[in-house]
Each structure stands twice: as C-alpha cells, then as structure tokens.
Structure 1
C-alpha cells in the first residue's frame, strides 16, 4: 500500500529493499537471473504491480508475481543445493530492482501536546488518586446526616424494595420514570447484604451515590484530558466538579439524575477514547441507552452524542458508526415503550375500543409531566438555590461557554462540550417542573467547559514559553485556591444533622405503634417500616399497612378499598413540613387526610439541633369516632 503523494515523489534509484521470500521446498532452477530494469520499464518487468482500489484518503496496491516467476513456481523436480543458492541470489536481485514504497504515516487523533512536560504514569495516577480521595472524603463526611432524607430518595428506595419483591413499584406502576434506575439500586442492595447494611435504607442508597459520584469525577478527568491534551486541565475539571457545593449537596442524595449522569459520562468517555473502534462505539451506545432508561431526560443528549461519534470516527467509518450508534441507543431506549405496550398501558383509558378499565398509561403520564403543576418546582426558585450555593461556578461557566463557541471554529472539540452544555440548558428552560437537583447533569459539563476554555490562553502561553510547565503551574495554583474555597462554602454540609428527626420518628413507631396500625407516612419511611431489620421494625413484624400519603389520597386501591374514603380508619400520621402543606392546601382527595389530621392529637415531635422547622417531624394519633363514616 502507498500514498498518492509518495508515488509522485518516489524515484526508481531510491527504492527500498524488501526481505527475501521464504525458500520453497523444491525450487526449480531459473533459466537466467532477473535483469536490472531500466528507468521507466517497471510496468514491463512487473505487470502485476497494480492498484486495486483508490480514493482521496488511501489506496490498496498489490504486487503479483510475473509470468516468469509463476512458471518457475509451477515447475517441479528435485534440485541440488547449489541450484537452490543460485535461484535465491537471482530472486533477491530481481526483487531488489522492483520499486517498493512505504505507506504514508497515519496517526490516530490525539490532541496531546508535543511539548508537554513528560510525567511518569505512576506520578499522574498518584495525583489523581489524591484528588479523588479528597473528593471521597468531602462527599462521605456527614452524608448520613445532611441533607435530610428526601421524598424522592424514599420513593426510589421503596421502588428498589418492590423490585426485590417482584414488583416495579409498591403501588401500580405509573410510568413516571423508566424502572432501570431503581433496578440498579435493588442490585446494589443485594450485593451489599440488604437494605440496612448502613443502618437505614436511604443510607445504603447514599453509599452507592458516593461511589457513582467519585467514578463520575474520574471520568470527567479522563474526558477532559483527552479533549484538551492536558493533564492539568483534566485535574481542574475534576476538582471543579467533585468539590462544588452543588455536587457535595445533591450528589449525596439518591436521585436518578446521579445514576444517569454516570452512564452519560461513561458514554462520552468511550467515544473520545475509542480511536474509531467499533466496539467502543457499541459500548458508548449501550451506556447512553442505560442512562436514558435510568431517567428519560437524557434523551436530550442523543444529537450531541451523534456529533461526537462523527468527530471521532474516521471518514470511511462515519456512516456505519452513526447508524450502529443510533440503532443500539433507540433499540435499548424503546424497551420503555415496549413495556407499556406489553402491559396494554401505552394509551390512556378509553382511546381503544373496549378499554374501559381505569389504568395508568405511558402517554398519559408524559402529558401530565409536561403540564405545569403548582408548587412542584419552578426555575426561579431553583435558580436562586443554585446561585446561593455556587455563584462563581455559573459566572465562570457562562464565560467559558462563549470562549468555547468562538474557539470551536478552530477546534471542533470545544463545540462538542459547548453543545452538551447548551442542550441541557435548553431543556431546563423549556420544562416547567425544575427542582434544585435538576442541575446535576449540568455540573460535569460546567467543569469540562471551564477547563477547556481556560486551557486555550494557557496553551498559547506555553507555546510562547517553549514548554508546558508554565501552564501546569498556573492550573495547579488555581487548584490550590479552589479547593479550600469550595470546602469553606460547603460548610453546612459538614456540620448539620437534619436527618436525625426522621430516624427518631422510626424508632418511636417501632416502640409505640401496634403492627396492625394504618400509618400515613412520607416515602422516606416506607422501606424501613416494610422490611424486617429496618429501624422502624427491628426484628419484629413489618408495618404492612404503612402507606405513603400521596398514594393514600390518589390511589383508588388505597383511598377507596383500604380506607373506604373514611378518615376514621387511619390510626397515625407522621407529618413533615412538606407533607403538612400538601394535605392542607391541595384539596380534592387530600381532604380525607386533612380531616384525619384535624381529628388527631400530637403524640411526639422531633426537631433538628439547628431548630429548622423544615426538619421537624410530628407524630399524630387519630382520635377515632365510632359514629363517623357510617
């Protein structure tokens, strides 16, 4: 094989010798030695020297033995040693006169700088390990106490409990999210010895979030290092991501966003490190499909991932790589819709003939999610929370976005990270229900965008100076200032204990409430009251009649069958600030719980040491009336 430009530059007198062919077993004697070819007579001497395929990037060239050699090879008979030596000498002379050429030097894409300071692999690994250990310690410290257990955390752990007991959810599956996220939680609990290996079910899930967060930080480092060609830029991106107060707060919580973010970063890593290998494209597509099945919002990244595959695939592989990537991602993601089709719950009740039984539906749930639900979450409230926790991150991220968009005209890799950032930001602005934890998939993108944008002027500085030491030194100085600043801003995460009232409520139920009691609770108490060994159960029988308040109000099976639409059948209500607000303000089916709350007496109250009313848990016992609901 040879390059077209090298064909034109090659001259017969500058030919390179090729190794002699393998000695035949019984070579015949050539009648005469090969003649030295004259300039311009190559085609006559070797008419089998042909180009099989050619385009503007490469060609396939083959040398076929001429008829004289074929006649020699087809001849038979025994030969003496002297005749074999004469044949070898003649063949070496013939081959040496045939013009041979080398392939053009082709290097795989690698943005690493040629003038970078050489760093041993062990030293790089040691620095990364130190920073990851620092992030591990920051995230792990006080993570069982702050933040307080959230309803989403309790719901996902309750769903994981249901998976182990052969159900998708404790209540009828409503298609609010794909089930793969809490299936992973269920697998984690089986691998770690159950839900209560770390005292409570939510503590167990938070340990998994800790490991996923550190793994995501490592992926951020590897991706940024590949895109920028700079180890120091990778360390900066990893530090920004892992030590941001937003990360320290929300990465501790059991959220589908945390699970999906890890799989998204793994998908990006396989693309940028794949060197256009098909197996890496397949792995990337599988990882993105798992991210989508963990939480549906990761569908928004499919166009950007296709652009990344196009960038990192060689030109003659691009069409096949894009088709393979799309096919795998869409096939895997369609399992969510296939589940609804198999259960006959794709369309809302009444759209199909004979479909009169009320049931949840995938399309019906999607329509409800795109509609505005008051008091469920809004962008303004979430934005204020983000700015309060880490305003410098958003300022630096906005400046970095502008730099990367401008720099993308010269380096398309900067466009890749900028498009990731823009895609998710457009999603946040287009949907109505935005919660503070919705920022989680954006945090690694912010870190990588900032590191890539900052690397541009520092790379120019290092070129002018003639070495990379100046750039690495400046980035390490920035790291030294960033680490203590972020830790100081995250001080409440290390000192407050807002989850203790919730654990105290579990202990009170275990010691005071009869097993047969109908208890209305928030979701974070569900698993600990339904599984033997939980803090609310101990080694006794579980509270099978403990019901999440939202389902007690809106699930017909609980509202009408178990409670018979009667407040008098409720025995206890374990109320927090959000639950009390929902019961008193939402009306409708919540009126049942509101009546029970107004006919109950406060039996216990648990407060955090800080005195925050949002962390308060109150236990009410309903005063039964024999004449009610008759």
Structure 2
C-alpha cells in the first residue's frame, strides 16, 4: 500500500433523505378520530336490522362448518362478505360476552371501516389531490351522519366498497407494476363476490387504469393483468355452483342463475324516486334527512368532475350509481347509499381543490375563507344534529332486554327475527328449534320440522320486522293471532313482545 493510498480520504456512503411520512401520519390521525366517533355508542345506534342479523348468522354458519348460511343457501348474494365477517366476528364476544350478537358483529366491522377511510385518502392522493384535499375527502366521508349511521351496520356493501377502493388505489399506483394491476383485478373480483351490485361501477377502475398507463407500453399489459386477476378470482363462485350442480335452474334445488334471474327480473321494484309515496322516494328522503349536504354536493361535484381528468374515475363511479338510482321501477335497497358516499366525498374534495387551484393568490384565500365559513355555518350545524344522535341514542335497549329474557328461559321452539336468532343459539337453544320467521312459510325444509304447523311452536318474538308484512306469511300471522304476550320491551314504535303460543286457536 502506497503513502497516497494511506492518506486517501474515505468516501462516505451517500445519506438518503428520510422518507416523508406526512401522508401516513395525517391519514392515520384522521382515521383514528373518525373511528372513535364510529365506535362510540355503536351498540346503541342505529336500531339493529334483520339484514344485519342475517349476515351475522350466515357468518356463524361458516365459522361452525354448517355451510354458507344457517338455512339453505340460495345464491341470493355472493358469500365472500360474510366469510370475511366470520374471520373476526367471534372476537368481540370473547371480550364482552354480554353484548347481543349484532352489537358484537358491529364492533367486528370497525377494522374494515378503518381500511375504507384510509383508502379514501390514498385514492385521493393518487388522483393528484393535494394533501389538504385528500384529508377533506376523508373527513367529508367519515363525519357524514349517513356514514356514522350506515357505516356502523353490518352490510355487504361495506365490504364491497372497501375492496373497490383498494382496486382503485392499485389501478392508480404511481409505480405501475404489472402485479399492481393484477392485484387490482383480484380486488375488484373480491368486491363483486362481496356484493354483486358493485359490478356496475367496475368501469371506474378501468378508467383509472386507462389514465395511469401509456398506450404503447404498459396499457395492454396492464389490462391483461387486470383481466387475469379478475377472472381467476371471480370464477370461483360460478365454479362452486357448477360443482354442486346448482349453476342452472332445475327441479328440487337452488341455482345461481335462478337467483340472478330473480334479482334482475322477479324482484318487486321500489318505484321512481320522483313518485311521492313510492319506496324509492321515501328512502331517498330518509337519506336526505340524515345528510342532505353530502348527497346534494356530491351529485353536483360528480357531474362537474366528469369534465376534470384526474377526478374522472370517482366521478364515473358516482355517475353510474346516480343513474341506477334514477331508473324507474328498479329495486333500491336501504344500504345502497353505502356505495355512494366515498365517491361523492372524493368528488366534492376534488372539485373544491380544482377550483381553488385555478384562482390567483388573493382570490384563493378568499375562496378558502368562504369554504371555511360555509362549513362552519351550514355543514357543521346539520352534521352536529345527526352525529349527536348517533353518539347518544339508545335504540337497541329493547333488543338487549329481549335477548336477556330469552337467555334466562329454558330452551324451547321459538320463532324470532334474525337479529335475535344468533342470541338464542348462543344461549343454548337447539339450532333446529330456533326458527327465522321468514322460513316458516318460505322453506319446505323448515315446514317439515313442524308437522303440526304453528301448534309445534312454543313462543314467537314479535318485533317490527316480524310485523312489517301482515298477512303475507300465513304461519306467522297464525302465530301472532294465537298467542298471548308474556313480556314486552321498548316503546310503541319499536315494541318487542315475547308471545306464548296457545295450542288451541282462539
């Protein structure tokens, strides 16, 4: 070694600049705040619905190896959402065994909703929104009284929309790796297998991929990878039906295609949203009652966003959902708005950012000041009323009392709605002797268990869900007419009655 080599300065390794984690810290902090509001009083508000109980009971069936549902699975919805629910719905019951089943299931939904909030922020940033606008989108979504109401409930739509947001985030990936696009296809397939109606807004993911890829290089490969992921994951559902001999309609069995035909053609519609008194009109009015701000602003921003390139993916999703809701005569479910909210929130934040970004400095500060004033004087008071009710109301007290009463009774043959079905099973009632009221008249297997008809039932629990369609279920009607109240809970509009069946008709 020479003297020059000895005195040669040692070259230091280049120091890498620390990664900017501002987006991570901001999104996690905001999600934590919204999640705390979502969790606060989640067991008390809103009132438990029969749909929630149904999905939770189906998750229970998966957990206990009893198939895809607690009754005959008839392909009414793809099963992947409640399979996901089954993975975590058992945990809250271990921590707080006194909770009614639906309350425990709602708590199990919180990690999913946290993922959805974070993905709203990620999609906003990957669309090119500034940090403040992505944060505004997250808060617009998360603080809406509609989200603090519907987001608490156990709905298949919540699973589907989170997976579709994941597909959008992957399709907008700045790295543009092929596996990102394949993963976007797989996520889109999981979304569809969680709730089939999300299929209608898959064009939003395709628009995002089209804008994020170059025509001559990555675009053909990206769409090929996406299609591969979509088909490879999505084919498992029809394959499952085919292997069970239940793909096509036939005598003596349910079928996937038969269920699709029912959903598309045989199901009674909700009427037009413009027709006073129709189911669709009443439903839209109820959504507007909870939060007219995000719905009205969301529709306007969605239409405007179609003309703004970076907002086009979420605007396409929102526009399709608007058009589907506007179609006359179609079926509009109560939980449909769950799919709408994140896309409306991102469109509102995006249009606001686009508008402010095109003003000069003085007008920009004026526009920001105006937005703050409007938020404080128009939005905040409206949201305060709805959010305050979500944080304080106790609408499930009657269900809690009824569940406690049933747990204390010796097992018997009891007819209940699906909110209480799992509570009875968990309390030790034989599964075959706890009957979901719908199945009494609609499932021949259940009817075979009761050769004496309604006389083989000991008790019926009369809830608003049981009483909602008087006369359409003959056996349920007979049970209500030939029973006497032995316990009742709750106010008149949410009355729950434990009724003992009289073996001889009155």
TM-score over 0.5 for the pair: yes
Partner of 1:301: 201
Return closer, same or farther for 1:577/1:398 CA change in 2, 3 Å cut-off. same
* Counterparts in 2 of 1:294 and 1:429: CA distance versus 1, 3 Å: same
- Residues 192 and 622 of structure 1, relative CA distance in 2, 3 Å threshold: closer
1:365-420 Cα shifts (integer Å, max 9, x gaps) = 112222343789932121111111111222212221232223x3xxx222222111
How many angstroms apart in 2 are the aligned matches of 1:471 and 1:221? Answer: 23
Give the greater-gyration-radius structure (CA). 1
Distance 1:286 1:472, change over 3 A: farther
Contact 1:260 1:292 in 2 (8 A): yes
Instruction: Tell me, yes or no, if structure 1 residue 369 matches structure 2 residue 268.
Output: no
Change (3 A) 1:124 1:414: closer
1:125-173 Cα offsets, whole Å, 9 max, x none, are 4443442232112211111011111111100110011101211111111
1:320 maps to which residue?
221
SS at 1:601 equivalent: strand
Whole-angstrom distance in 2 between the partners of 1:249 and 1:519: 31
SS of residue paired to 1:225:
helix
**Structure 2 equivalent of residue 547 of structure 1:** 435
CA contact (8 A) 1:213 1:242 kept: no
Q: 1:308 to 1:524 in 2, by over 3 A?
A: same
Instruction: Give matches, 1:325-404, under 5 Å.
Output: 325-349=226-250, 356=251, 358-370=252-264, 371-373=266-268, 378-404=279-305
In 1, are the aligned partners of 2:129 and 2:353 still within 8 Å (CA)? no
Unaligned ranges ≥5, structure 2: 1-18, 272-277
**Which structure's relative contact order is higher, taking Cα pairs within 8 Å and 6+ residues apart?**
2
Partner of 1:72 in structure 2?
Answer: none
- What is the distance in 2 between the residues matched to 1:374 and 1:130? 42
Q: Helix, strand or coil: the match of 1:228?
A: coil
Match of 2:192 among 282, 288, 292: 292
Kept after mapping to 2: 8 A contact 1:239/1:479: no
Quote the residue 1:426 is aligned against. Answer: 323
Q: Secondary structure at the match of 1:229?
A: coil
Output the aligned Cα RMSD.
Answer: 2.7
Q: Determine the structure 2 residue equivalent to 1:616.
A: 495
Asked if 1:558 corresponds to 2:446, the answer is yes
Instruction: Determine which of 450, 465, 471 is the counterpart of 1:585.
Output: 471
Call closer, same or farther: CA 1:265–1:478 in 2, change over 3 Å.
farther
Farther off after superposition, 469-478 or 200-209: 469-478
Corresponding residue of 1:187 = 87
Equivalent pairs, count: 477
Looking at structure 1, the residues matched to 92 and 496 of structure 2 have their Cα atoms a distance apart, in angstroms, of 30
Alpha carbons of 1:485 and 1:129: their partners in 2 closer, same or farther (altered >3 Å)? farther
Q: Which residue of 2 aligns with 1:509?
A: 406
Mapped to 2, the partners of 1:325 and 1:159 lie a distance apart of 31
Counterpart for residue 7 of structure 2? none
Which residues of structure 1 form unaligned runs of 5+?
A: 1-119, 350-355, 532-536
Counterpart for residue 459 of structure 2? 572
Separation of aligned partners in 1, 2:188 and 2:219: 19
Distance (Å, rounded) in 1 between the aligned partners of 2:249 and 2:230: 26
Would you say 1:148 and 2:62 are equivalent positions? no
TM-score, L = length of structure 1:
0.71
Secondary structure at the residue paired with 2:419? helix
Q: Equivalent of 1:159, from 50, 58, 68?
A: 58
Q: How many Å apart are 1:274 and its aligned residue? A: 4.0
Q: Do the aligned residues in 1 keep the contact of 2:167 with 2:183 (CA within 8 Å)?
A: yes
CA distance in structure 1 between the partners assigned to 2:30 and 2:391 by the alignment: 19
Are 1:253 and 2:153 an aligned pair? yes
Shift of 1:572: 0.5
Contact (CA 8 Å) 1:232, 1:476: kept in 2 or not?
Answer: no
Q: Which of the numbers 415, 433, 438 marks the counterpart of 1:520?
A: 415
Any conservation in 1 of the 2:413–2:456 contact (CA below 8 Å)? yes
**Does the residue aligned with 1:574 lie in a helix, a strand or coil?**
strand
